[in-house]
Amino acid sequence: MSTITATAPPTASNSAGKLYRLGRIFGADGRTVVLPVDHGTMLGRVSGLEDPAALLETFLPLGPDGFLLGPGLAARTAPAFAHRNAPARLLTIDTYWRGEQSGEHVLMTSLAHAAALGVDAVKVLMPWDVPAEERAARAKLIGQVIIEAEPFGLPVMVEPIVLASPRPANATQIEADGARMAAELGADIIKVMTPDDPSLLSDWSRELGLPIVILGGPAGCTTDDLLETVQEAINAGARGITIGRKVWQRPVDEATELLVKLAQIVHPDR
Amino acid sequence: MSTITATAPPTASNSAGKLYRLGRIFGADGRTVVLPVDHGTMLGRVSGLEDPAALLETFLPLGPDGFLLGPGLAARTAPAFAHRNAPARLLTIDTYWRGEQSGEHVLMTSLAHAAALGVDAVKVLMPWDVPAEERAARAKLIGQVIIEAEPFGLPVMVEPIVLASPRPANATQIEADGARMAAELGADIIKVMTPDDPSLLSDWSRELGLPIVILGGPAGCTTDDLLETVQEAINAGARGITIGRKVWQRPVDEATELLVKLAQIVHPDR
Amino acid sequence: MSTITATAPPTASNSAGKLYRLGRIFGADGRTVVLPVDHGTMLGRVSGLEDPAALLETFLPLGPDGFLLGPGLAARTAPAFAHRNAPARLLTIDTYWRGEQSGEHVLMTSLAHAAALGVDAVKVLMPWDVPAEERAARAKLIGQVIIEAEPFGLPVMVEPIVLASPRPANATQIEADGARMAAELGADIIKVMTPDDPSLLSDWSRELGLPIVILGGPAGCTTDDLLETVQEAINAGARGITIGRKVWQRPVDEATELLVKLAQIVHPDR
Amino acid sequence: MSTITATAPPTASNSAGKLYRLGRIFGADGRTVVLPVDHGTMLGRVSGLEDPAALLETFLPLGPDGFLLGPGLAARTAPAFAHRNAPARLLTIDTYWRGEQSGEHVLMTSLAHAAALGVDAVKVLMPWDVPAEERAARAKLIGQVIIEAEPFGLPVMVEPIVLASPRPANATQIEADGARMAAELGADIIKVMTPDDPSLLSDWSRELGLPIVILGGPAGCTTDDLLETVQEAINAGARGITIGRKVWQRPVDEATELLVKLAQIVHPDR
Amino acid sequence: MSTITATAPPTASNSAGKLYRLGRIFGADGRTVVLPVDHGTMLGRVSGLEDPAALLETFLPLGPDGFLLGPGLAARTAPAFAHRNAPARLLTIDTYWRGEQSGEHVLMTSLAHAAALGVDAVKVLMPWDVPAEERAARAKLIGQVIIEAEPFGLPVMVEPIVLASPRPANATQIEADGARMAAELGADIIKVMTPDDPSLLSDWSRELGLPIVILGGPAGCTTDDLLETVQEAINAGARGITIGRKVWQRPVDEATELLVKLAQIVHPDR
């Protein structure tokens, strides 16, 4: 009996919409290659991403599963996605700025605007190596985003992250705590750094009941190291990657080759 | 210079969303083959469409550009569309009932629910062979739909139609008047019956500045007649078809073959 | 691997709530015995139901899966349901009055009040042997109920029905059309009269993708006839019964025995 | 005369709903065993609760009266509660973070989402060993929760607590003050630590006119000590327990045995 | 075929309104000369602009493309613009005050009032050499302005600026980062200081996909220097100028002559 003619579990329109959108992000193998080009929303005119629309156009033909981008770029590049085989779009809706004493986390746009743009998910940061009071503020904001996204059927990707550099010894523990908090708040996708022991990804996936995608972070490792890290993460249960700077902060030819190899690791059967 | 890096006309997020969604409905050639399976919203358990989810599943592999369907079916069949190569979905949001003295036109669902479902457009009927008072009521409802759809970036397909059977001598004139009214209200796509003189489609397209797709209507003509009519309409400037009963009120094999031929007429270069 | 630790499909809080509530109505076998005692909302002080709270108390120990009741009775009898093994409650929220020329269909209470009461579903009538204009009004009202119920996670039971007596020859066809319309509007449960050919229930269940429960209607058949009808309906795929007058318009002992037998037919493995 | 046919005090739908939900939490003996698994909303990936869904599944068959859990876990585990004999669910809707200078107390989700999920109560913390300004802020937030919960018929459990460690000499006095404040704000259930003199529970219960359940706190006592403490609390009038870490931060077999014994103390006649 | 009768890209009313208004600001050559007279909103009774209405009246006959002015002046001088060939008006809606420790950025008026005035755009400052926490606050405010301006079809001009004096070595880099952030937030026009290397304007224009106009800043350079700077900026791709003090903080005759020369540089073919 086919899946769609069988009596399905009861659904609401927003839940059906969420299912539809998540299916556009994750391929038939349940995995995804997302190329983030949203760095201007925090890093400004970052090296290698000076012209995000041009970069997007360069990498579109490689067929990543999705792009992560900010509101302005999403509106400007809508024509490039205005066909049925286009990658998914995940919208970064927040910006976070860390001062000496404290950090401020705000939304750049509204969930209603995200829905109007027709993106497939929204994404928010969750800095978690922050003072207790800020954790409360982060949890409140992310909880509100999740509540407001729900009637629009928009999935929410949350990125629990340790921002301190160098990373403290307990960074993985902090990010594990943040991931749990994100799951408790109702996140749909977790974006996180691969822990030193990648097998933790397997534990976290089971425990959280959510797809986990791994981030890249600043450039600076060899392509071989990156490929190995990603392979380990995928082996350990990661459902995909959102790696930007480590890809496009290289010469275009090298970046292209690297993205193709990463896609092969994530989607070996494609 | 590439399209997306060139300085684009200024845009708003809802306008970008409309452009994105229309690009999902109309192919690279600017044309579309939409298979309507929304008849249950007015005709009930109509012959040939008793099991709309099964029918949808039968025709999905043929790759039509889109399906036209009602809210319940859209929620139920979301999994079948939850991947990036899936056809577009246009949501019928109204239902119209004609009594002896008057007709009533109401919405079945809200624009917010259409947005939550993630459909690419909404569609409303515009019965126009009606008394003056009803024309006002129709115009009011359709105008409201267009206003409410705008912040969601949802395109609106309007179908001006003469419901009387047999069609009166001035049916084409009435539908031309209705199409004009729909354009004045702000419609994005016109769905209309092919006029007796198909070259009028060319005039209407130019005059309205909108894509026109032609409807099928009740079954009852030969496949050759249908193919000829569609070819003439496309030659005259129609941007596509939304033909249901004339397709699926046939044996499946015949219907499949017919849909393939129709797609070849609409998309000769695909 | 257990169902709840496996990675589940993405969900929204209202969808999770709907799933939770439907699971309280339908047993582990996917079937339900609902005893309706809501007749006062249309029939007034109907024979056998003069004291609905007393009647409810009489039948509670028999352990039906649920009761169908109106807002006042639901508030008054809340203590009887204030324990974890209590039957589900489905709330009748509308009332319909048929005049000589037309009928009026209105809500008695709001979805917010239904949610406050803690009921597991709401139920609305869908008279469908009505003039065309009224069908529009019915569809509009039921569509609004479904839209408003959605954020509360409340399932909606819709009852397409031919009210004319005696039933016209095409009554089953009209109810099939109404059931389709209800499904298009987004109903979660269909309540309908068993068609003369019960095997249609199998077709309808598959086609609508929804659980169908059968109604009883006025008293007046033998218990054997009723049991046979219900057995046929269950055999044909009905997911349960909502039979009131045919049960409680009998002496209590007879009614009790009948309800037990009906439950055995619906839940043979319980 | 039966309880439900007697002339009851006039009721509103939300009051009836509150009564209904409280009856689902407290058994026929007016007592409850609630297993809290909501610690991820403040403690992150806490030891013993790394996989809260799995833990929940382990303890479900033991039949506690309820679980206390966060929004994400409640949505994810809805299927496990989607039957009539399932335990009640109490939803933790807030998160509190204590910094060096001050603490921040925020809501993770909305009352509307709690209602949509179909939970039987919401629960908020009330840190009361805090500076005066913070007491005002705590009172304001809890007062708002109680106000907003009311139209949904959702009972509110409030937990007045001294967070300082080690506990100051006047900890019980502070918690007594907090419990009184919670009662003044309109709380429905008080969750509190057993005072050194358990007989105070009897006084508090009478004075507040509210059911009091006792909390467990961090692991670290023997099972015998725990059982004795609980027995004393129940003897003194406690209406139940919400003990988590002291139960599940043990080997599963030991935890299971302990929970069974605790249930026997709370419900000796069950 | 003419552009306006050809099938246009789909549009929404607010997007059409934005296009209309931008077309009023930028001439047929895509460039604009805007004379700012809004300095009272931050500088008070600034020298040379003591009587802004009189100054405005003086320069109106010279036919600049637009004036930048505050809400009070816009209301007061409406008669001067109440004809079809009048310059556009861009409304400064915010005011920024820098203290020793931090700055405060607030709106002086609402977007609704801007729409009521009939202005062609609104303008906000974006101080970007500020502490991290303030960048978050600036981004939040500007993001809100852009969101609120959108349904009114009002273009938003954003001015990323380094306020420190003397300008730090990395001032251009900071303004480039701010311009990127403004573009990500959805700005329609960027107002910025000409970088030391004017050719960066060409890069920025391409990268941001937005028109860039250059600001003047305090008086104090020779007319020749100013003309040269503007010529270089225009050569490098600037779409116009918004230069006030460097123009009107001179004797009227000199200022008039200067404005004429600036207009000739911006619009050589006019």
CA distance B67 to B33: 8
Q: B230 Cβ partners below 8 Å, 6+ apart?
A: B214, B238, B241, B243, B262, B265, B266
Residue A60 pLDDT > 70, yes or no?
yes
Per residue in C85-132, pLDDT tens? 999 999 999 999 998 888 999 999 999 999 999 999 999 999 999 999
User: Helix, strand or coil for residue B221?
Assistant: coil
- What was the pLDDT predicted at B219? 82
User: Which two three-digit tokens encode residue A238?
Assistant: 């990661």
- What was the pLDDT predicted at C1? 33
CB contact under 8 A, C7 and A153: no
Q: Give yes or no for B2 touching A (CB within 8 A).
A: yes
Token pair 């318009």: residue: C249
User: What pTM was computed for the model?
Assistant: 0.95
Chain B partners of A71 at a C-beta cutoff of 8 Å?
A: 13
Would you call E251 exposed, middle or buried from its count of C-beta atoms within 10 A (0-12, 13-18, 19+)? exposed
ipTM rounded to 2 decimals:
0.94
- Do B and E touch, counting CB pairs below 8 Å (3 needed)? yes
Residues, chain A, total? 270
CA distances from E123 to B163, C12, E145, E161, E189 (A): 52, 40, 9, 13, 9
Residue A8 pLDDT > 80, yes or no?
no
- Do B and D touch, counting CB pairs below 8 Å (3 needed)? no
- What was the pLDDT predicted at B10? 60
Chain C partners of A15 at a C-beta cutoff of 8 Å?
A: 10-12, 14-15
Chain C partners of B119 at a C-beta cutoff of 8 Å?
A: none
Per residue in B200-257, pLDDT tens? 999 999 999 999 999 987 887 899 999 999 999 999 999 999 999 999 999 999 999 9
DSSP letter string, B79-124: GGG-STTPPEEEEE-EEEEE-SS-EEEEESS-HHHHHHHT-SEEEE
Could you state, in chain order, the average pLDDT of each consecutive group of 10 residues for chain B (270 residues)? Answer: 45 92 96 97 94 96 97 96 96 94 94 98 98 96 97 97 95 97 97 95 96 90 93 97 96 96 96
Q: Identify which of D138, D143, D151 has the alpha carbon closest to the alpha carbon of residue D186.
A: D143
CA distance D72 to A202: 19
> How many Å is the Cα radius of gyration of chain E?
18
User: Which two three-digit tokens encode residue E225?
Assistant: 């220097």
DSSP letter string, C80-111: GG-STTPPEEEEE-EEEEE-SS-EEEEESS-H
User: Helix, strand or coil for residue B78?
Assistant: helix
E strand or H helix at E240, and its extent?
strand E240-242
Residues, chain B, total? 270
Q: Identify which of A203, A258, A207 has the alpha carbon closest to the alpha carbon of residue A230.
A: A258
CB contact under 8 A, D106 and A140: yes
CA distance E104 to E98: 6
Per residue in D47-90, pLDDT tens? 999 999 999 999 999 999 999 999 999 999 999 999 999 999 99
A54-82 mean pLDDT: 96
DSSP letter string, chain A: --TTTS-PPP--HHHHHHHHHHHHHS-TTS-EEEEE--THHHHSS-TT-SSHHHHHHHHGGG--SEEEE-HHHHHHTHHHH-STTPPEEEEE-EEEEE-SS-EEEEESS-HHHHHHHT-SEEEEEEE-SS-HHHHHHHHHHHHHHHHHHGGGT--EEEEEE---SSPPTTHHHHHHHHHHHHHHHT-SEEEEPPPSSTHHHHHHHHHHTS-EEEE--SS-S-HHHHHHHHHHHHHTT--EEE--HHHHSS-HHHHHHHHHHHHHHH-TT-
Q: Identify which of C69, C152, C92 has the alpha carbon closest to the alpha carbon of residue D151.
A: C152
Instruction: Evaluate whether B68 touches B62 at the Cβ level (below 8 Å).
Output: no
Q: DSSP H helical segments within E52-198, as ranges?
A: 52-59, 71-76, 111-117, 132-149, 171-185
CA distance B36 to B49: 10
Q: A208 Cβ partners below 8 Å, 6+ apart?
A: A179, A180, A183, A190
Instruction: Evaluate whether B246 touches B222 at the Cβ level (below 8 Å).
Output: no
Please give the DSSP secondary-structure letter assigned to residue B219.
Answer: S
Task: Between E5 and D237, name the one with better pLDDT.
Answer: D237
Strand partners, A190: A158, A212
Q: Strand B94-98 vs strand B103-107: parallel, antiparallel, or unpaired?
A: antiparallel
Best of C134, C144, C184 to disrupt the B interface by mutation (most B CBs within 10 Å)? C184
D197-206 mean pLDDT: 96
Residue A3 pLDDT > 60, yes or no?
no
User: Helix, strand or coil for residue E183?
Assistant: helix
Cα-based torsion angle of the residue sequence C56, C97, C179, C249 in order, rounded to the nearest 10 degrees = 30
CB contact under 8 A, C185 and B109: yes
D177-183 mean pLDDT: 97
Q: Identify which of E103, D213, E125, C190 has the alpha carbon closest to the alpha carbon of residue B72.
A: C190
Residue A50 pLDDT > 60, yes or no?
yes
Closest residue in D to A131 (Cα–Cα): D99
DSSP letter string, D62-78: G--SEEEE-HHHHHHTH
Give the distance between the most distant pair of CA atoms in chain A.
60
Q: What percent of chain D has pLDDT over 90?
A: 90
CA distance A6 to C9: 16
Q: B48 Cβ partners below 8 Å, 6+ apart?
A: B55, B219, B245, B248, B249, B250
Please give the DSSP secondary-structure letter assigned to residue B10.
Answer: P
Closest Cα in chain B, distance from residue C175 (Å): 9
End-to-end CA distance of chain E: 26
User: Helix, strand or coil for residue B158?
Assistant: strand
Residue C172 pLDDT > 80, yes or no?
yes
Q: Give yes or no for D263 touching A (CB within 8 A).
A: no
Q: Subunits with at least 3 CB pairs below 8 A relative to chain D? A: A, C
- What was the pLDDT predicted at A9? 57
- What was the pLDDT predicted at E5? 40
- Do E and D touch, counting CB pairs below 8 Å (3 needed)? no
Best of B14, B15, B18, B20 to disrupt the A interface by mutation (most A CBs within 10 Å)? B20
Q: Which of C11, C15, C209 sits opposite A7 (nearest CB)?
A: C209
- What was the pLDDT predicted at D172? 96
Q: Identify which of C235, C153, C163 has the alpha carbon closest to the alpha carbon of residue C199.
A: C235
Residue D100: CB atoms within 10 A of its CB come to: 8
User: What angle do helix axes E223-235 and E252-266 make, rounded to 10 degrees?
Assistant: 20
CA distances from B2 to A56, A74, B176 (A): 12, 17, 38
- What was the pLDDT predicted at B266? 98
E strand or H helix at C4, and its extent?
none
Q: Which of A100-104, B43-47, B133-137, D103-107 comes out lowest in average pLDDT? A: A100-104
Residue B121: CB atoms within 10 A of its CB come to: 24
Q: Which of E10, E150, E209 sits opposite B188 (nearest CB)?
A: E10
- What was the pLDDT predicted at E170? 96
D270 pLDDT band, cuts 50/70/90, is: confident
Q: Give yes or no for D19 touching C (CB within 8 A).
A: yes
Could you state, in chain order, the average pLDDT of each consecutive group of 10 residues for chain E (270 residues)? Answer: 44 90 95 96 91 95 96 96 96 94 93 97 97 95 97 97 95 97 97 95 96 89 93 97 95 96 95
Q: Which amino acid is at A170?
A: N
Closest residue in B to E189 (Cα–Cα): B10
Residue C243 pLDDT > 70, yes or no?
yes
Q: C101 Cβ partners below 8 Å, 6+ apart?
A: none
Q: Identify which of B182, B174, B64, B87 has the alpha carbon closest to the alpha carbon of residue B125.
A: B182
Strand partners, E121: E90
Q: DSSP H helical segments within chain D, as ranges?
A: 13-25, 40-43, 52-59, 71-76, 78-81, 111-117, 132-149, 171-185, 199-208, 223-235, 245-248, 252-266
Residue A207 pLDDT > 50, yes or no?
yes
CA distance A70 to A39: 8
Closest Cα in chain E, distance from residue B150 (Å): 6
Is the torsion defined by CA of D28, D30, D33, D34 positive or negative? positive
A130-156 mean pLDDT: 96
Token pair 């046929």: residue: C232
**How many H-runs (helices) and E-runs (strands) does chain E carry?**
11, 10
Residues A74, A78, A81, CA angle at the centre, nearest 5°?
A: 110
For residue A168, how many C-alpha atoms fall within 13 Å in the half-sphere facing its CB?
Answer: 12
CB contact under 8 A, D83 and C28: yes
End-to-end CA distance of chain C: 26
Residue C238: CB atoms within 10 A of its CB come to: 25
Residue D11 pLDDT > 80, yes or no?
no
Token pair 């459909």: residue: B119
Q: E3 Cβ partners below 8 Å, 6+ apart?
A: none
